[in-house]
């Protein structure tokens, strides 16, 4: 038969047991001492219900992290994704065949986002052309 402490879940650790647990976990006295010094007060002085809630939260977080990692592994790298999406978008709109990594796009004037390079004789600022691949311009 379980005692009341066994049924109530994690209990606030007894300070004398902390070093033993850390030493067993790390196998190294220096590491165990460093860990003991860095333990937050909530773990050392928290109530059983607080420790249970922290434990459950950590377990829930781990489960979510595993799911996110699994989902992220299914994603294409950004560069590959942009190549396929841009190629498909261009092909669906125009009947030409595009190589988004080699075909160039040139933006003259102010729209290039460049600083003016000079001012002409009429006092109008002149801007350089910026030339990029279709992929660079889209990204």
CA pseudo-torsion sign 65, 67, 73, 79: negative
**Which is nearest to 108 in space by CA: 126, 122, 92, 128?**
128
Q: pLDDT higher for 43 or 136?
A: 136
- Given a cut of 50, is residue 1 above it in pLDDT? no
Backbone angles phi, psi at 2, to 5 degrees: -80, 145
- Other residues' Cβ atoms within 10 Å of the Cβ of residue 10: 16
- pLDDT by residue (tens digit) across 10-52? 555 666 678 888 888 889 889 888 988 888 888 777 788 888 8
Q: How much is the pTM?
A: 0.47
Q: Where are the beta strands (DSSP E) in the chain?
A: 104-107, 118-119, 125-126, 130-133
CA pseudo-torsion sign 45, 55, 7, 26: negative
The band of 115, judged by pLDDT with boundaries at 50, 70 and 90, is: low
Identify the pLDDT of residue 23: 87
């Amino acid at each position: 038969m379980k005692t009341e402490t066994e049924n109530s879940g994690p209990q606030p650790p007894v300070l004398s047991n902390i070093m033993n647990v850390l030493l067993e976990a790390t196998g190294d006295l220096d590491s165990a001492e460093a860990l003991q010094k860095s333990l937050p007060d909530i773990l050392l002085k928290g109530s059983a219900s607080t420790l249970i809630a922290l434990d459950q939260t950590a377990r829930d977080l781990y489960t979510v992290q595993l799911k996110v990692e699994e989902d992220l592994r299914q994603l294409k790298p950004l560069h590959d994704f942009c190549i396929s999406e841009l190629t498909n978008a261009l092909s669906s709109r125009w009947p030409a065949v595009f190589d988004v990594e080699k075909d160039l796009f040139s933006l003259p004037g102010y729209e290039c986002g460049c600083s003016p390079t000079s001012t002409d004789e009429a006092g109008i600022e002149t801007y350089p052309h910026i030339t990029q691949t279709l992929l660079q311009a889209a990204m």
